[in-house]
Every structure is written in structure tokens, then in C-alpha cells.
Amino acid sequence: MIHQLRIYEIFEHNKAAFHARFRDHAARIMRRHGFQIVAMWEAKTEQRTEFVYLLQWPDEQSKNDAWAAFMADQEWDEIKRATRGQGALVGEIEDRPLALTDYSPAFA
């Protein structure tokens, strides 16, 4: 099993638009392509606001195939185009593969 941590810089002035797009569209389309979203958070530091989510994958190939299918999804492309008028919804994106240590507690 593989976990993937995604961190998106989001902006206070259109944070609600970002959350609406992710909640109402991106998460649904991701599930259609085999994404298993474990949890989602919002984190705030003095420098920026972040949307953080954790994905779980059975293996690297499944992860790569799902991301490729999601990025090529016509509905997702249309939604991004339709929401561009709200300004940039995401700044910097960080993608971190996570490997459990041999002493980690069991993870469901």
C-alpha cells in the first residue's frame, strides 16, 4: 500500500470557491478514477493557507494510472475552464509519497 500526501496553497480571497470545486467536483471525479481519499484538512500558517489531503493506493501503477485518467478527464477539464473566472484557486502544489516505517502503528 502507498500513501500520497498532497498540499495545495489556497488563497483566502477565493478559498470558498476552491473548496466548492474540490468538494463538489474534483473529489467525485477522483473517486470515479479509483482515488481513495483518506482525509482532508485545511492548515494555516503565517505565510499561507493550505488544503491538505491524504490518498491511499494499492500500488504505484494504480496511482499513476488514476492520476493520468483524472488529468485527462473531459468533465474535470470543463470544470476547470468554467471556474477560471474566479481567479487562481491553487498556488504551489506539493506532492509527497509517504512510506510507513516498520514501527508505525497499524493504519486502516
pLDDT score, position 108: 63
pLDDT confidence band for 91 (50 / 70 / 90): very high
pTM: 0.91
Kind and range of the H or E element at 10? strand 2-10
In the chain, what are the domains?
2-98 (3.30.70.100)
**Which tens digit of pLDDT belongs to each residue from 29-46?**
999 999 999 999 999 999
Of the listed ranges 19-28, 56-65, 96-105, the one predicted with least confidence: 96-105
- The DSSP 8-state label assigned to residue 58 in this structure reads S
